[in-house]
Amino acid sequence: MKGFLPGIVSAFSVIMLLSCFFPQTACAYTGQVSEELKAPCLYATGLTWDGKHLWVCDWKEACAFEVDPSTGELISSVELPCLRPQDIAYANGFLFVCSGYEPFIYKLELASRTVVETFPTPESTPSALGWDGEYLWLADSGTDMIYKLNPVDGTTINYFKAPAVQTEGLASDGHYLWAADRVRDELYMLDPDDGTVIMVVKSPGEYPTGLVFDGKWLWNVDFEDDVLYRLNYDDGESVYVTDDNDRQVTFVHELTNMGPGTVTEAGVFLAVPEDSFPGQCLLEPIVFEPEPTRFDADEWGQKIAVYEFEDLRPGETRAVNYVAKARIGMRRFCIFPHKVGELKNIPSSIMKRYVVDGSRYRISEPLIEKTARQIVGDEKNPYWMARRICQWVQDHVEYEMVGGWDIAETLIKRGTGSCSEYSFLYIALCRAAGLPARFEGSVVVRGDDACIDDVFHRWCEVYLPGYGWIPVDPSGGDRPLPADQAKSFGMLVNRFLITTRGGGDSKYLGWNYNYNYKFSYIGKVNVVADAFALWEPLEENE
């Protein structure tokens, strides 16, 4: 049998590599470009839809051009009634027009080419217009706010903070509001009630401006490229992976007995990275040095490399490590909240496993139960339950690495915590509200491609019926801008090699992730444990 072992390993490596070469981006996903048309002008800043054709606004020429969306053919044009028009919105035979130079909205009747109404904007620097079938939407670049307006006289119905720093396109898809940010080069899907960012999509060009939905496709015009991009809206793909890169990680654990006594027995337990994590693919089998005493799995199904040592004398160090070569991509979920199922749709096996209590959660404590009820209120949609809890944690906790990992209740009282404590609190509140939740742990790229990580990172996953397990990073998303907060929900960047997935206390890892260790001794000892990850980029020829 020994003679066949190299062939078996080689075949296994080939299978792993082949699985990595079938990218999850092969299917259509929200924001993916499906068609490109040349814009009819050189300074396109606005875009709208009249039910049959696109209209493109030219900033320099102060004109709007009617375009056939199937061919890009120019059909007609109309002169606009203001200097430097920023955006346009079509509604029932009229074009609403705004300019960044004038604090007014103009209502232009297309049939007669006549301005029939003019009313002031809420602020002085309007930057985008949209129409949802009943109301106008206006973004202002000076205040970074988005306003819902009465189309009759421009009075404000509602307003909220814009997702980022420079909104230059607005559109409604019938359920949600979309915004284009030309500084971040991103498109955002928003809750029209309060501006919560639900989805973040990379814009197809480097200067996204006008945005519109035609009933099937999302359209975006780019000022720099002079291109009309037709984008997929919802083709049923809930997750996709982009921006992958190949890296090597050497994870090292050292256990040193400083004496004066003897460590009679010691165990070191390393969480083993696997291919089962979306966006992560092992390019070849992990190499352990030395070979583990054995492999096992904990009660959460986490694979563990178990090392057992005896007689660690004063001054001795036992070091173990593994080398993993992996392709790591950015994972994004395309979640439409109205399509998320009900709590009753969650499999009973998941509810039984991930809505239970734990010593760091203590979900039956009155403070946890009361807080969960106050946060969730009468909300029944699992997506909005999970988002409300995440927002509450970010609003009430500040990031601070102090001491050990305290229980969820202590974090509520103290108001500060590390990434692990954010995770414990989020999971506790989710489970108290009836939402299944668990955690993942990783080693992290710290800035440069070649770097050292000795801090690591932990975040959560919440189960949404119809979508499955969704990454949620309460501490990573604790930032002021709505767009940055949204990137912590349903998105995972390509800086993490995931090693650990768990739901609570583990017989090997305890409440740790990445690794753990235990020892027994005679006399007095001072045992020092050190763990770190060394990152290196893999060359293409590797």
- The pLDDT score that the predictor gives to residue 277 is 78
Select from 31, 53, 45 the least CA-distant residue to 226.
Answer: 45
- State the burial class of residue 467 (Cβ atoms within 10 Å of its Cβ: 0-12, 13-18, 19+): buried
Long-range contact set of residues 121-125: C-beta below 8 Å, sequence gap at least 24? 121/147, 121/154, 122/147, 122/149, 122/154, 122/156, 122/159, 123/147, 125/100
Q: What percent of the chain has pLDDT over 70?
A: 94
Confidence of residue 540 (pLDDT cuts 50, 70, 90): low
- The pLDDT score that the predictor gives to residue 20 is 60
User: Lowest-confidence range among 15-29, 116-130, 506-520?
Assistant: 15-29
| Segment 41-89, tens digit of pLDDT | 999 999 999 999 999 999 999 999 999 999 999 999 999 999 999 999 9
Confidence of residue 15 (pLDDT cuts 50, 70, 90): very low
Beta strands 491-492 and 416-417, pairing class: unpaired
| Segment 424-480, tens digit of pLDDT | 999 999 999 999 999 999 999 998 889 999 999 999 999 999 999 999 999 988 888
List the domains of the chain with CATH numbers.
33-236 (2.130.10.10), 241-330+517-537 (2.60.40), 334-502 (3.10.620.30)
Cβ 390 vs Cβ 477: under 8 Å: yes
Q: What are phi and psi of 72, to 5 degrees?
A: 80, 5
- The pLDDT score that the predictor gives to residue 13 is 42
- The pLDDT score that the predictor gives to residue 1 is 30
Q: Is the pLDDT reported for residue 403 higher than 90?
A: no
- The pLDDT score that the predictor gives to residue 81 is 96
527-535 mean pLDDT = 97
- Could you report how far apart the first and last alpha carbons of the chain are, in Å? 29
